[in-house]
Amino acid sequence: MDTASALSPASLPVDDDGELTRLHPNYAKALRLRTVLTAIPFLVAALVVEAVLRDKALLPPGLIAGTVLVIALALVIRIPQSRYNARGYQISADRLRVVRGLLWRSDTVVPFGRVQHIDVDQGPLDRFFGIATLTLHTAGNHNASVSLPGLGEELARTMREDIRAHIRRESL
Amino acid sequence: MSEPQRTAPLSVALGAIGSIRSAIFPAIAIGFSGIGSSSGNRFWIALAVGLVSFLIGTAFSYVSWRRLTYTIGETDIRVESGLLSRSARSVPFERIQDVSLEAKLLPRLFGLVAVKFETGAGGGEDMSVQYLTNGEGERLRQLVRERRDEEQAAPIANADPEAPVAAPASEGEVLFAMGPGRLLRFGLFEFSLAVFAVLFGALQYFDNVVDIWNVDLWYRWLKEQGNTVATLGPYVQAAGAIAGVIVLVVVGMMSGIVRTFLRDWGFTLTRSPRGFRRQRGLLTRTDVVMPVHRVQGLVIGTGLIRYRFGWHALSFVSLAQDDAGGSHVVAPFAKMDEIAPIVAAAGFRLPGETTRWQRASKRHRTDKTVLDALIFGLAAIPVAIFAPPGLALIPIGLAVVAVAANLYAWEFRRFALGEAQIFSTSGLLSPTSQIATRLKLHSVEIAQGPLARRRGYATVHLGLAGGTFAIAGVPIEAARDLRARVLETIAATDYSRLDQALNEAQSGLSANFLAT
User: B513 pLDDT exceeds 50?
Assistant: no
Residue from A143, A163, A172 whose CB has the most chain B CBs within 10 Å, to mutate: A143
Residue in A94, A104, A141 closest to B465 by CB? A141
Contact B274, B291 (CB under 8 A): yes
- Please give the Cα distance from B466 to B317 (Å, whole number): 6
- Please give the Cα distance from B469 to B462 (Å, whole number): 5
Q: Name the burial class of residue B434, with classes exposed (0-12), middle (13-18) and buried (19+) by CB atoms within 10 angstroms of its CB.
A: buried
User: Which range, A90-94, B74-78, B125-129, is most confident?
Assistant: A90-94
- Please give the Cα distance from B415 to B472 (Å, whole number): 10
**For residue B431, is it within any domain?**
no
B102 CA to centre of own chain: 15
Burial B28-47 (b: 16+ CB within 10 A, else e): eebbeeeeeeeeeebeebbe
Instruction: Give yes or no: residues A9 and A41 share one domain.
Output: no
Please name every residue paired with B112 in a beta bridge, in sequence order, or none if there are none.
Answer: B133
Which ipTM score applies to this complex? 0.82
B237 CA to centre of own chain: 42
- Please give the Cα distance from B420 to B408 (Å, whole number): 30
- Of B381, B405, B429, the domain-final residue: B405
Instruction: Give yes or no: residues A9 and A78 share one domain.
Output: no
Number of neighbouring beta carbons within 10 Å of residue B492: 16
**For residue B289, is it within any domain?**
no
CA-nearest residue to A171 within chain B is: B496
Average pLDDT, chain B: 78
Binned at pLDDT 50, 70 and 90, residue B511 comes out as very low
- Please give the Cα distance from B486 to B471 (Å, whole number): 13
| Rg, Å, chain B Cα set | 29
Which chain A residues contact residue B444 at CB under 8 A?
108-109
**For residue B42, is it within any domain?**
yes
Instruction: Give yes or no: residues A116 and A78 share one domain.
Output: no
A32 CA to centre of own chain: 11
CATH code assigned at A153: 2.30.29
**What confidence tens digit (pLDDT) does each residue in B358-392 have?**
888 889 999 999 998 898 888 888 888 887 777 88
Structural domains of chain B, count: 3
Which chain A residues contact residue B483 at CB under 8 A?
16, 109
pLDDT of residue B222: 67
For residue B60, the enclosing domain spans 1-67
- Of A82, A97, A124, the domain-final residue: A82
Confidence (pTM): 0.72
Instruction: Give yes or no: residues A163 and A93 share one domain.
Output: yes
- Please give the Cα distance from A70 to A42 (Å, whole number): 12
**For residue B295, is it within any domain?**
no
**What confidence tens digit (pLDDT) does each residue in A143-170 have?**
888 999 999 999 999 999 888 888 766 6
Contact B314, B342 (CB under 8 A): yes
**What confidence tens digit (pLDDT) does each residue in B134-155 have?**
888 888 887 777 776 666 554 4
**What confidence tens digit (pLDDT) does each residue in B32-50 have?**
666 555 666 777 887 888 8
Write the CB contacts of B248 (distance below 8 Å, at least 6 apart in sequence): B193
Of B107, B114, B112, the residue nearest B133 (C-alpha): B112
- Please give the Cα distance from B124 to B301 (Å, whole number): 25
**For residue B219, is it within any domain?**
yes
**What confidence tens digit (pLDDT) does each residue in B321-341 have?**
665 556 788 888 999 889 999
Instruction: Give yes or no: residues A17 and A33 share one domain.
Output: no
- Please give the Cα distance from B23 to B13 (Å, whole number): 15
Q: Give CA angle at A160 (A154, A164), nearest 5°.
A: 150
Residues B331, B334, B339, B345, CA torsion sign: negative
**What confidence tens digit (pLDDT) does each residue in B444-458 have?**
999 999 999 999 999
Using the Cβ of B476 and the Cβ atoms of chain A, whether some distance falls under 8 Å is answered with no
Residue in A103, A139, A141 closest to B468 by CB? A141
- Measured N-to-C along each axis, helices B362-386 and B393-412 cross at an angle, to the nearest 10 degrees, of 170
User: Which range, B147-156, B220-229, B236-245, B494-503, is most confident?
Assistant: B236-245
- Please give the Cα distance from B81 to B103 (Å, whole number): 21
**For residue B270, is it within any domain?**
no
pLDDT of residue B29: 74
CA-nearest residue to B120 within chain A is: A139
Contact B472, B458 (CB under 8 A): no
Instruction: Give yes or no: residues A47 and A95 share one domain.
Output: no
pLDDT of residue B77: 81
SS3 B181: helix
Using the Cβ of B445 and the Cβ atoms of chain A, whether some distance falls under 8 Å is answered with yes
**What confidence tens digit (pLDDT) does each residue in B46-83 have?**
788 888 888 888 888 888 888 888 888 777 788 888 77
Of A78, A84, A99, the residue nearest A16 (C-alpha): A99
CB contact under 8 A, B450 and A140: no
**What confidence tens digit (pLDDT) does each residue in B272-316 have?**
776 888 888 888 888 887 878 778 889 998 888 888 898 999 988
Instruction: Give yes or no: residues A60 and A13 share one domain.
Output: no
Instruction: Give yes or no: residues A129 and A101 share one domain.
Output: yes
Of A166, A42, A36, A158, the residue nearest A112 (C-alpha): A166
Residue in B461, B490, B495 closest to A143 by CB? B461
Write the CB contacts of B484 (distance below 8 Å, at least 6 apart in sequence): A16
pLDDT of residue B457: 92
Instruction: Give yes or no: residues A66 and A147 share one domain.
Output: no
For residue A93, the enclosing domain spans 3-21+89-171
Structural domains of chain A, count: 2
- Of B263, B295, B310, the domain-final residue: B263
CA distance to A116, B166, B248, B430, per residue, from B154 (Å): 22, 17, 59, 45
Query: Looking at CA atoms only, how far is residue B441 from chain A in angstroms?
Result: 7
**For residue B212, is it within any domain?**
yes
Q: What percentage of chain B exceeds 70 in pLDDT?
A: 79
CB contact under 8 A, B445 and A17: no
**For residue B239, is it within any domain?**
yes
